[in-house]
Every structure is written in structure tokens, then in C-alpha cells.
């Protein structure tokens, strides 16, 4: 068996009603908290109010930054970091989807480190773990796993580029994963964020550096996503489906934090950097079919294993047949969850395709793919994903 490392510094509190523990949890880490969220809207406002009340009751003063922008931007981080400094914040609490949580993580750096947050991407400037503000998270989408990962994805709107802050100290101290907080997520966002869960699990398993422990978590969780994501899309009030997705979302975070994603995410992030109307899960759904067809022969056994999770009848077929069929099974799944879209459908201009390809190389995860592509191969994959 291969050697492996496994590390997870975040304390996870999973289960229905666990949001009620947020006051106690936060008060152990600080007395003045920056709550980081999107602008309150009817689905989320009651949760934000509840969190503020619970923190206040536990003796924690709350300052609310509600300027999170989808696909976390450096401008909003800089603004919020100034707010944190001015108010002597000693703990940051991200409540929301990946964009809110990544904003919270980035503020923990921005409020304690000199200079522009963008300079800290990909370890260009060192993050001093001793200085960082403690981070607490409550995810409200079942998607990114950001609630426990060691990275924050940030976007520089001027350069139209997405990149990551990466350091183990960015793993939140505590994450409260309460499926109740996801019950209000609309169907299409459930689909897009839920497909991201599948991608984290699948890509961790496919990753050249996957480990036995990651494989165990990923394969079992993929089975749950295949079963429960279509149910949650169809019936947003289905509690069993919501709890399975909440749990597997966090499990996906555990997997990517230990081994990382692959080429799908490198191009997906580049699409997110270059556009402002494409959700992270949509970008992945756009790229999956072509990249799968290009990849499966280089990881036939793993594709076959995943193919058999989608279609148990493939047990009777050879690995090669099951692996090729896995690509079709994943396409059927993307169609079933309503994400069969192309770059053209999302109004991306053909002139932007080359920059999307170039920027994908900025995300080192493409090197973890079973077959490492060159720029020409990346550009071909993007071009072939332009139309369905």
C-alpha cells in the first residue's frame, strides 16, 4: 500500500440544529466577531439574525459585513479587511456558500497581513499562521467543502483571474455543518453546488496522488451524491437528501484538502475568473464531458469503478468497457440534474477561449490529472466544450 499523509485540523459539528451552538463556539475564540455574508434576502435573513442573537447571548459582539460577491473578489476582501481592522475584530465567522466562506478566510489574512491580498495567492507572499484571525464557518450550500478546506478561492476582477490563498492555517477552527441551513437553496443552485460535490469526490479519487483513506471517503460519498442530488433538486424539502448532501459536501472538502482537485477544476476556475455569469458548478458541468472522453483511457480502472457506481450492471463488463461507459453515465447524470450547458449557452465569446486556456495553467491542480495536458490540449478541450 502507498504511503499517505492525512490531516484535518478543523473541528466539525455536523447535524440538525447544530447552528444553535454558534454562540458557545464563537465565544471560545473571540469577543468581537466579523460576520461575513451576502446581502440579507428572505431565505437567509432569519439565519443571519439567529446567528447574531446567539453570539450576542454568548457575550460576543457582532459586526456584520454583508458585501460578499459571488466568486469572492479581491475588492470586497480589501473592503471587509479594513472594516475588521477598524473594529478590532478577533474572530471571523463566514455564513453562506463558498463565496462567503472564502471571503471570511481571506479577511482573516487581509486584516492581519501587510499589502494587497492578491499578493498572497499561491504562496507568493507567506501567510503567517501565528497572525491569522481564527475562522468559524457555517456552510449554507452543499457544494464547495470550503467550510473545512485549507484554501480560499479569490478572484481579481481587473485581471479576470481566479487564484487561491493556500495554507493549513486557513482551515477553520470550527465548522458547524447543519443541513437545516441548506433547506432554502433553490433547485438550480442545489444542482450546481451539488455537482461541485460530485466533482470534488471524483477528482480526489482520480488524482494521481489519491490515497487509500481519500478513496474510501470519495467512493462511498459519490454513491450518496448519485442517489440524493436528483432527489434534493426535485424536492428541496427532502430532509434525507439534504443531510446526505451536507455531509458529502464536507467529505468532499476533506478529500480535496488532502489530495487536491485536477484539470477539471483548473479550467473550471479559469472560466469563473473570465466570466461573471457562470456558477462554479456550471463551469465544471460544461467541461466534464470533453475532459472525461480525453482522460478515461489513462485511468481506466478508476473510471470503471465510478461507472459501476452509476450503473451496477457494468460489473459484468471489462474495465475498459465500463470506463468508457462511465463517461456516458456522467453525461446522463449532468443532463438529469439540468446542467447540460455549453460555453456558448452562457454567452462566452469565442475570442475569450484562448485566455481561459492560458489562465488554466495558473492553477497547479492540472498537474494532478492522470494525464497532464499541455496548453494545446487544454485549448482543444475548451474549444470542443464551446457548443454541445
Q: How far is the CB of 278 from ligand NAD (least distance, A)?
A: 10
Q: Name the grid cell of 301.
A: 480502472
Please tell me whether residue 33 adopts helix, strand or coil conformation.
strand
Chain residues that interact with ligand NAD, rule: CB under 6 A: 38, 43-44, 70-72, 96-100, 102, 140-141, 143-146, 149, 151-153, 181-182, 184-185, 189, 193, 196, 269, 272, 280
The vertex-268 CA angle with 262 and 269, nearest 5°, equals: 95
Least spacing, CB of residue 293 vs ligand NAD, in Å: 24
Buried b (16+ CB within 10 A) or exposed e, 145-174: bbbbbbbbbbbbeeebbbbbbbbebbbbbb
Beta carbon nearer to ligand NAD, 286 or 304: 286
Give kind and range of the element (H or E) at residue 200: helix 187-206
Residue tagged 468559524 (cell numbers): 136
Question: By C-beta, is 247 or 304 nearer to ligand NAD?
Answer: 247
Closest approach of ligand NAD to the CB of residue 322, in Å = 29
- In the complex with ligand NAD, which residue's Cβ is closer, 196 or 290? 196
Which cell is 193 given?
453546488
Q: Residue 370: count other Cβ atoms within 10 Å of its Cβ.
A: 17
Q: How far is the CB of 313 from ligand NAD (least distance, A)?
A: 33
Listed in sequence order, the residues at least 6 apart from 44 whose beta carbon sits closer than 8 Å to its beta carbon are: 37, 38, 96, 140, 184
For ligand NAD, the closer of residues 175 and 292 by Cβ is 175
Q: Is-contact 133 91, C-beta < 8 A?
A: yes
In contact, 303 and 331? CB cutoff 8 Å? no
Find residue 96's DSSP bridge partners: 139
Nearer to ligand NAD, 149 or 248 (CB): 149
The nearer residue to ligand NAD, 174 or 304, going by C-beta atoms, is 174
| Closest separation in Å from C-beta 358 to ligand NAD | 18
As measured in angstroms, the least distance from the Cβ of 23 to ligand NAD is 20
Amino acid at each position: 500500500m502507498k504511503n499517505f499523509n492525512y490531516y484535518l485540523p478543523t473541528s466539525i459539528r455536523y447535524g440538525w440544529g447544530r447552528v444553535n451552538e454558534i454562540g458557545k463556539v464563537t465565544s471560545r475564540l473571540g469577543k468581537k466577531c466579523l460576520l461575513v455574508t451576502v446581502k440579507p434576502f428572505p431565505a437567509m435573513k432569519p439565519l443571519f439574525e439567529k446567528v447574531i442573537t446567539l453570539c450576542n447571548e454568548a457575550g460576543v459582539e457582532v459586526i456584520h459585513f454583508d458585501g460578499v460577491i459571488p466568486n469572492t473578489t479581491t475588492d470586497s476582501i480589501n473592503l471587509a479587511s479594513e472594516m475588521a481592522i477598524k473594529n478590532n475584530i478577533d474572530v471571523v465567522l463566514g455564513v453562506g456558500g463558498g463565496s462567503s466562506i472564502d471571503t471570511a478566510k481571506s479577511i482573516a489574512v487581509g486584516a492581519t497581513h501587510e499589502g494587497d491580498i492578491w499578493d498572497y495567492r499561491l504562496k507568493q507572499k507567506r501567510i503567517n499562521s501565528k497572525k491569522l484571525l481564527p475562522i468559524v464557518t457555517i456552510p449554507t450550500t452543499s457544494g464547495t467543502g470550503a467550510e473545512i478546506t485549507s484554501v480560499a478561492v479569490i478572484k481579481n476582477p481587473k485581471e479576470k483571474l481566479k487564484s487561491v490563498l493556500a495554507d493549513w492555517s486557513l482551515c477553520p477552527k470550527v465548522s458547524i455543518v447543519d443541513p437545516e441551513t441548506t433547506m432554502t437553496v433553490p433547485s438550480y443552485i442545489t444542482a450546481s453546488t451539488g455537482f461541485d460535490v460530485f466533482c470534488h469526490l471524483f477528482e480526489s479519487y482520480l488524482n494521481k496522488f489519491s490515497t487509500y483513506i481519500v478513496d474510501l471517503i470519495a467512493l462511498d460519498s459519490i454513491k450518496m451524491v448519485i442517489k440524493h442530488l436528483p432527489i434534493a433538486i426535485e424536492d428541496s424539502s427532502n430532509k434525507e437528501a439534504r443531510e446526505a448532501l451536507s455531509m458529502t459536501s464536507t467529505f468532499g472538502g476533506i478529500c480535496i484538502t488532502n489530495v487536491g482537485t485536477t484539470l477539471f477544476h483548473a479550467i473550471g476556475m479559469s472560466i469563473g475568473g473570465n466570466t461573471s455569469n457562470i456558477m462554479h458548478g456550471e463551469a465544471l458541468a460544461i467541461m466534464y464531458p470533453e475532459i472525461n472522453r480525453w482522460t478515461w483511457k489513462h485511468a481506466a480502472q478508476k473510471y470503471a469503478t465510478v461507472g459501476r457506481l452509476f450503473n451496477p450492471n457494468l460489473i459484468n463488463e471489462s474495465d475498459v468497457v465500463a470506463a468508457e461507459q462511465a463517461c456516458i453515465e456522467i453525461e446522463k447524470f449532468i443532463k438529469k440534474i439540468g446542467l447540460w450547458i455549453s460555453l456558448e449557452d452562457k454567452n462566452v465569446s469565442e475570442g475569450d477561449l484562448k485566455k481561459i486556456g492560458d489562465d488554466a495553467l495558473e492553477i497547479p491542480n492540472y498537474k494532478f490529472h492522470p494525464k497532464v495536458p499541455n496548453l494545446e490540449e487544454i485549448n482543444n478541450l475548451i474549444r470542443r466544450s464551446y457548443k454541445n
